[in-house]
Amino acid sequence: MTGLIQVLGVVFGGLLIVVGVAESFFIRDQRLQRLFVAEPDGVQAAWLGTLNLGFYNVIWGIGAIAGAIMLGGADSAGGRTLLLFTCVAHVILGTDLLLSERRLWGSALAEAGPPLIITILLLV
User: Backbone phi, then psi, for 73, in 5-degree steps?
Assistant: -110, -160
Average pLDDT estimate for 77-81: 96
Average pLDDT estimate for 9-34: 84
Confidence (pLDDT) at 57: 94
Sorted by where each begins, the domain ranges of the chain are: 2-17+55-123
pLDDT digits (tens, 9 = 90+) for 85-121: 999 999 999 999 999 988 889 889 999 999 999 999 9
Confidence (pLDDT) at 32: 66
pLDDT digits (tens, 9 = 90+) for 23-70: 888 777 767 666 666 566 666 666 777 788 889 999 999 999 999 999
| Helices of type H across the chain | 2-25, 30-33, 43-71, 76-100, 105-123
